[in-house]
Amino acid sequence: MEVTNITEYQAIAKEKLPKMAYDYYASGAEDQWTLQENRYAFSKILFRPRILIDVTKIDMATTVLGFKISMPIMIAPTAFQKMAHPEGEYATARAASAAGTIMTLSSWATSSVEEVASTGPGIRFFQLYVYKDRNVVAQLVRRAERAGFKAIALTVDTPRLGRREADIKNRFTLPPFLTLKNFEGLDLGKMDEAADSGLASYVAGQIDRSLSWKDVKWLQTITKLPILVKGVLTAEDARLSVQAGAAGIIVSNHGARQLDYVPATIMALEEVVKAAQGRVPVFLDGGVRRGTDVFKALALGASGIFIGRPVVFSLAAEGEAGVRKVLQMLRDEFELTMALSGCRSLKEITRQHIMTEWDASGPLPAPRL
């Protein structure tokens, strides 16, 4: 059966993967309210398309932190990709490079920064968890720099791991043939089996709960790489991110895997964009499954979006070819949405191209011709 949209990969992945692996990728925290909301919230935003505009040529190219990419669709960090497919992060890196976009490698990848760099050219960011042992962090950041990674995405929403009940039920642990490749030499690469979730126990033992804004400053003393703060959901923290010297903000609720009942990221986006006041770019991750979703995020002020689960599900289904297809399908849908909305370049996508429930209180702003 031909796959015609990226959501269809999830069912294929569910059939192919062991239950423990599929549940790890698919599930959210506690009641999974935010998990459903991340998707559902997009349906509350409608289009105001402009007609009779020459859309013969559509340009989706953009720059992120000065790097030119083919489209504002990038790959979010997701852990343990070799649990989905033997080629894991190698396949994802090659697919991102072929699509002319950015891949973010997880700290908890099953391939090291050096291995991913060896796949060939490409613009890559490195997602960082801050360990209690700061020497480990400094070493890891240096390795990412040496391997040619261009930015650090600092995850700030995980002082403790969210309660993911599927992982507790399954007693989740990394399969014996896999390790956290970036930590192998540091005796931090293995995850022990635990009475609940092996990952939750690992996080409790290794990740620094004391992480604070001063550490964002500290990170800037050990690296020249730009730092994206990943996990911002409020105007207050957007302002603090800018003050702390962040080069950008990723509006993220960790794929609804941390605190349940936080809003969908698309609902938090505009508040964060307004607080950032154009001083740094704001990106979105969480719930993007259609080109229409990408357009809606950009109309609300995002500079680009990141996809996570679609990557691991397509990887499980078809390896590198699956990830390539996901990126191509999203690109094609986004291009079509732009054309049908009357936008020929990203800068032509405006707030006037969408309407939301919370706009209804007053008259719509006068259209710009």
Active-site annotation holds for 254: yes
CA–CA separation, 170 vs 192, rounded Å?
14
Is 288 annotated in a binding site? The answer is yes
Is 257 annotated in a binding site? The answer is yes
In the numeric block, which tokens belong to residue 12? 């294929």
Q: Which residue has the tokens 């500079």?
A: 303
Is 344 annotated in a binding site? The answer is no
Pairing of the two strands 45-47 and 354-356: antiparallel
Is 146 annotated in a binding site? The answer is no
Is 350 annotated in a binding site? The answer is no
Is 286 annotated in a binding site? The answer is yes
Is 129 annotated in a binding site? The answer is yes
CA–CA separation, 103 vs 73, rounded Å?
10
Is 79 annotated in a binding site? The answer is yes
Is 274 annotated in a binding site? The answer is no
Q: Identify residue 339 by its one-letter amino acid code.
A: A
Own/partner contacts of 113-118, CB < 8 Å, gap of 24 or more, are 113/140, 113/143, 113/144, 113/147, 113/149, 113/182, 114/143, 114/147, 115/89, 115/90, 115/181, 116/89, 116/90, 116/147, 117/147, 117/148, 117/149
Is 230 annotated in a binding site? The answer is yes
- Four-residue CA torsion sign, 121, 281, 238, 37: negative
CA distances for 358 relative to 33, 265, 286, 288, 354, angstroms = 21, 16, 21, 21, 11
Burial pattern 150-164, b for ≥16 Cβ within 10 A else e, equals bbbbbbbbbeebbbb
Give the DSSP letter of residue 148: T
Is 285 annotated in a binding site? The answer is yes
Q: How many helices and strands, by DSSP H and E, does the chain display?
A: 13, 12
Is 289 annotated in a binding site? The answer is yes
Is 169 annotated in a binding site? The answer is no
Is 92 annotated in a binding site? The answer is no
Which residue out of 50, 254, 296, 324 is catalytically annotated?
A: 254
Is 90 annotated in a binding site? The answer is no
For residue 126, what is the enclosing H or E element? Answer: strand 124-128
Is 78 annotated in a binding site? The answer is yes
Instruction: Tell me the catalytic residues.
Output: 254
Binding-site residue numbers are 24, 77-79, 106, 127, 129, 155, 164, 230, 252, 254, 257, 285-289, 308-309
Binding-site residue numbers for FMN are 77-79, 106, 127, 155, 230, 252, 285-289, 308-309
Binding-site residue numbers for glyoxylate are 24, 129, 164, 254, 257
